[in-house]
Amino acid sequence: MISQAIRYLAVNSITYTDMIEPIRRGTAEVLSANENGVLMLETNSGIYMIAADTSEDGVRLLSLVKNPELMSIHRRGTANEAMRRYGMAVTMECYTAVWTDQLPPAAPFSAFDICELKAEHVQFVTDLYKHPNIGSWYIEGRIAAGEMFGAFSGNDMVGFIGLHEEGSMGMLEVAGKFRRQGVATCLISYLCAWLMMRGRTPFSQFTTDNSPSRSLHEHMGFEISIDPVYWLEKR
């Protein structure tokens, strides 16, 4: 079933990188896969993910899901049915940005040092990064996993980036007075290289109304999906 899932997802690899990468990492349980779609559970995060040719195909896969808390769905019609069926709400509508070159993006010259964050950095990160669906417990977990990195000027952290549980790059933030100095580009370049050294494909997701994030990814050379993905949570 895994090989069938990969064959289906690879036809639109940019859009479905968010599902392909967990399969390659071994953190996906493929629950159904055929020529019309794929349903899988990303085991690190507990997210059910659905890709399908049509909303009707997606709804058929949806019938195999029992009491989901989090879902990532690649069809609006399927997402609407998940809302109706499970009392969920769409919390984000995102495009996927994928780094497809064989070498990581070139980092601009920078006086900032980048290193892995530790437990003592949790407070700084949670004070600066405000997201309605991400609390301090999540940041603590990402730092404990060794998957958050900070840019430093001397002893002062000026920005940070990390990996979400399902493998996407995110939680990117730069302190106000250090913006427009290339910090974000340096952090993304660093994390891309870190991932590629481990045989992983760097990708991130940004909301469809986040023009600055889209511009940054396009400027760096990421490929952007045409179709969005819908993130859903229990109300």
- Residue 176: its pLDDT value, please? 83
For residues 53-66, give the mean pLDDT.
Answer: 95
pLDDT band at 112 (very low <50, low <70, confident <90, very high): confident
Q: Strand pairing of 70-73 and 47-52?
A: parallel
pLDDT digit string, tens, across residues 11-24: 999 999 999 999 99
Q: Look up residue 102 and give its DSSP letter.
A: S
Locus of tokens 């639109």: 12
Side chain identity at residue 90, one-letter code: V
Q: Look up residue 107 and give its DSSP letter.
A: P
Domain boundaries, the chain: 2-98, 113-200
**CATH code for the domain defined by 113-200:** 3.40.630.30
Residues 6+ apart with CB under 8 A from 18: 49, 72, 96, 166, 167, 168, 203, 205, 229
Report yes or no: 196 and 21 within 8 Å, Cβ to Cβ.
no
pLDDT at 133 over 80: no
Which value, to the nearest 10 degrees, does the dihedral of the CA atoms of residues 162, 166, 169, 172 take?
-50
Report yes or no: 96 and 229 within 8 Å, Cβ to Cβ.
yes
For residues 54-68, give the mean pLDDT.
Answer: 95
Map residue 180 onto helix, strand or coil.
coil
**Whose CA is closest to 113, among 188, 202, 173, 183?**
183
pLDDT band at 86 (very low <50, low <70, confident <90, very high): very high
pLDDT digit string, tens, across residues 142-190: 999 999 999 998 888 999 999 999 999 999 999 988 888 889 999 999 9
- Residue 6: its pLDDT value, please? 96
Residue 163 corresponds to which tokens in the numbers above? 């990996």
